[in-house]
Amino acid sequence: MSQSSVPPVPPELRAPPEALRALSPTQVVAVDDERSLAAHTQWIEGSAGERLGQSRLLLSGLHCAACAGLIEDALQRVPGVRLAEVNGAAQRALVSWDPSATKMSTLIAAVRSAGYGAFPDTGAQAVAQATRDTRKAVWRLFVAGFCMMQVMMYATPAYVAEPGDLSDEMAQLLRWASWVLSIPVVLFAAGPFFGGAWRALRERRIGMDVPVALGILVAFVASSAATFSPQGPAGAEVYFDSLTMFVAFLLGARWLESRARQRAAQSLDAVMRRLPDAVERLGPDGRAEWVTPAELAVGDEIRVHVGQAFAADGLVVDGRTQVDEAVLSGESRPVERGPGDEVAAGSLNLGAPLRVRVSRLGAQTRYQRIVALVERALMQRPSFMISADRIAGPFLWAVLLLSLAAFAVWSWIDPPRAVWIAVSVLIVTCPCALSLGAPVALIAAAGELARRGVLLQRLDSLEVLTRATHLVFDKTGTLTEDRLTLAQREMLAAAPPAQQQRWLALAAGLAQQSRHPLSRALAEGLAGIGDTDGWQEVHEWPGQGLEGRADGRVWRLGLGSWCGAVGAAPLRPAVWLARQADDGLWQPLLRFEFDELLRPDAQSAVAQLQQAGVTVHLLSGDQTASVQAMAQRLGLPGEQARAQCTPQDKLAAVEGLQADGGVVVMVGDGINDAPVLARSDVSVAMGSAAALAQARADVIVLSNRLGDLLLLRETAQRTLAIVRQNLRWAFFYNMACVPLALVGWMPPWAAGLGMAASSLLVVLNALRLTRPAHRGASTTTVAVAPRAA
């Protein structure tokens, strides 16, 4: 084999990767600039009132849980860092830091000094880093694969030649050729394994790369010794073919695994990367300039082009279009927006260019609040993932001891086979599949749910949801929408039909002139009957109602006591229409009663939950008649619906269910629900819920569809099933293959293929979560209520 047959390494790979180089003075200034920080940092207030930054970092070079731990340790040692959380599956870090004690450039330098890549987590950097990583991985795979084929070609004669067909000189020449071709595989293609092992040992830890690197090194050294000195202690056996095959197989599996993990995180990335890199700002003189979203200010006017995302919350000044708000609400159908309508950051303009006046920026926007929730979920490490990581460390020590024992035993039984059996044991028992089985599945599940408008704030909740026995609903704002509907109207005075119709028209016309919830509900209930023409001197009295003049008389629409009504008030919200008599007294003519509007999918969702074996409860602070009527509409037994509940009563009810051994899921939306949400085993808040309720919730249903609770439960069951499948596979794979390696029935190349295939299998199995079996479950099984979170 001529030297020219080995492909040259491109310059970009001969130099240290850009992600690992020290930052230049220009880069230091750029990453520490306030405007640059705004793209990936949120400023929060610490416990002592100090200003803290929460920054997202994009990482590279992580292959196992030990890598995440090394980066966390490196960041925690930086003065001023309050908290560092790394998610290896998502290749992200979330760092809380004090800007008075450290800088962003220092954080990046700390990660790079640990031997890993780090960049500010912006959309452009993520795409560029993914491209660089893919190019390097493909090039390493090409070198390993090309050299493996050449080495196999040189090794084949030794396997198939009859005695006497292959001279000693030719056999030695083929070994020398194999040795030369193995050098670029060991020094270049296998570089990530040696780099990862060195970083782990330098931090006095043991990671997945340690046994792999040790196996490669031992095989190469032993084979080199056999090549140079066939009569020496290493014997005459060489393992260059097994060595190059193992490296090629493992690199191929890692490349496929990396692609699969990127796909698993795509939905989460889609949620977090919706803001444009630049936006067209319009000056007072009408001139336009392109600026970054960080340069915008409240009150600025911007032009949003077709296909562009809105960079901030705002009001439409000019233009009419359709807007995709799926990221914010989970609603796939575009919504109409025109002058005076609100638009939200992160939503997409689909129809026509718009002029928008900015009303909220940065952390104040709904989009950034959603991103913060996604980040919080992304950095969660559920208990079973922590357990798997704890098992992996001692397991790796056991692997090293087992390999050493195998070498010692086989050195006595059959010395020429001792090295490759020890290498096989090292490789086949590496617990890569164990460390990948859970995190990739959870990232895939969280991404799929986020795409459907359901945000996980605590990944542990998925496991608890599979064991849920009771689901407790608050009524107002949860089972019902945050608006009322006209339920009943009653004539209080005798009059001809034409006169009654006129009264209805007057009530509708007066209601149209107020934004009060009861007035809006009345106007919707009497739509098409009245109008605002003919009304004069209309005035709205806070807490009382509306008063105005029409048909030569003074009219009131409001509270019964204000409108002259006597007797017991109805159980439901109500308003009266009254006119002023000649003697100055008020004569009630009509009474309108309202009811809460049940969400369109509430009845079907509750029915399906009950069919699934979940006991549904209704706890509400409303009156008994209203709660019992709601329970009857939902098909709930009377004992499962409790009225006039204080927050303490709700808390006691949930604690009672838990004391009986139940696992309770609480769905609420108000500030008064915060204590019981915190006490339940899993807490769910609707997208329209109060901020405190959302902060206490494990899951937020942005879409406000109760049918998405079924999607959540189904996804939790599928996720835990896949995680258990992955962990079982990893366990039984090791239990089956270790004996084969110990008795010498599994050569190093087969061990490498098995380990690579095992890791790839668990990742591909986890990706099934991105293809839900019933993708349209929440939109076809139950009715959909459009809602902008």
Sheet strands (E) in 100-251:
117-120
As annotated, the active-site residues are 474
**Considering only CA atoms, which of 430, 418, 397 is closest in space to residue 218?**
418
**Considering only CA atoms, which of 609, 600, 595, 524 is closest in space to residue 787?**
600
Is 136 within 8 Å of 18 (Cβ atoms)? no
Sheet strands (E) in 271-343:
279-282, 288-291, 301-304, 313-318, 321-324, 335-337, 342-343
**DSSP three-state, residue 472:** strand
Sheet strands (E) in 451-509:
454-456, 470-474, 480-491
Angle formed at CA 440 by CA 439 and CA 445, multiple of 5 degrees: 100
One-letter-per-residue 3-state SS of 514-544:
CCCHHHHHHHHHCCCCCCCCCCEEEEEECCC
Work out the end-to-end distance of the chain between its first and last CA atoms, rounded to an integer number of angstroms.
65
Is 415 within 8 Å of 235 (Cβ atoms)? yes
Distances (CA, A) of 175 to 44, 171, 500, 576: 63, 6, 106, 100
Provide φ and ψ at 97, rounded to 5°: -145, 155
What DSSP letter does each residue of 217-250 carry, written as one string?
HHHHHHHHHHHH-TTSTT-S---HHHHHHHHHHH
Q: How far is 181 from 220, CA to CA, in rounded Å?
A: 12
Half-sphere exposure of 696 (CA within 13 A, CB side): 21
The token duo for 100 is 């008075």
Q: Where are the alpha helices (DSSP H) in 265-290?
A: 266-272
Q: List residues bridging with 642 in a β-sheet.
A: 619
The token duo for 108 is 């990046």
Residue indicated by tokens 């950095």: 379
Q: Which residues contact 694 (CB under 8 A, 6 or more apart)?
A: 373, 685, 700
Question: What is the per-residue burial (b if ≥16 Cβ within 10 Å, else e) of 659-695?
Answer: eeebbbbbbbbbebbbbbbebbbbbbbbbbbbeebbe
Cβ of 301: how many Cβ atoms within 10 Å? 18
Q: How many residues does the chain have?
A: 789
Q: How far is 92 from 239, CA to CA, in rounded Å?
A: 38
Q: How far is 106 from 127, CA to CA, in rounded Å?
A: 23
Is 538 within 8 Å of 547 (Cβ atoms)? yes
Provide φ and ψ at 765, rounded to 5°: -65, -40
